[in-house]
Amino acid sequence: MSKTYLKSDHFSGGGSLLSNAPASADHPAGILNGITPLPATGDLIDNLVSVTSAVAQVSGNGGIALVAAPAQAAAINLRLPRAPAYPVLASTSLPSGSIIAVALPALVSAVEVPRIEASTDALVHEEKNAPAVNIGGGVMASPLRSFFQSDTVGLKLRWPISWALRDARGVAWMEV
């Protein structure tokens, strides 16, 4: 019996940790859900002071991480007169100009053991935002690829990961 696997990019849109998407049956809410962005001042140092100060009441003694779009992460690491006091992580899933400060004690996660399945007879819809393979009325989506016909092996990774904020004051963000 043939299996059908759909490719998806779950970490760059709705359902990602760094999104403002609400929770659904498929994923927890993004950590920016319900968090209003702070106004940007235009100055890099003032912007960093603003986002880190906003989460300081929850962070305790320095438990803060900065997550930024790649250009902003590079600017933080290269333009400041000395190394930042907090870890700076770059994420390509963020829109350009985004800077997020996270008070680490406010973020909780649950990670289960990953499950990997292999198949030589799966049918894959090779499109990023793939609709159902069987559209209806006998019409099939395209492009489709049969692993059996192309003599390939497909691997599917299922890694149940969940997250939540203990305190909404533990996240602050802005777009510069």
80-124 pLDDT, tens per residue?
Answer: 989 888 999 999 989 999 999 999 999 999 989 999 999 998 887
pLDDT digits (tens, 9 = 90+) for 35-77: 999 999 889 999 999 999 999 999 988 799 999 999 999 999 9
Q: What is the pLDDT, as a whole number, of residue 11?
A: 37
Query: Pairing relation of β-strands 98-103 and 123-125?
Result: unpaired
Q: Which helix (H) or strand (E) element contains residue 3?
A: none
- Give the helix ranges, DSSP H, for the chain: 44-59, 70-79
Domain ranges for the chain, please list them: 44-111+163-175
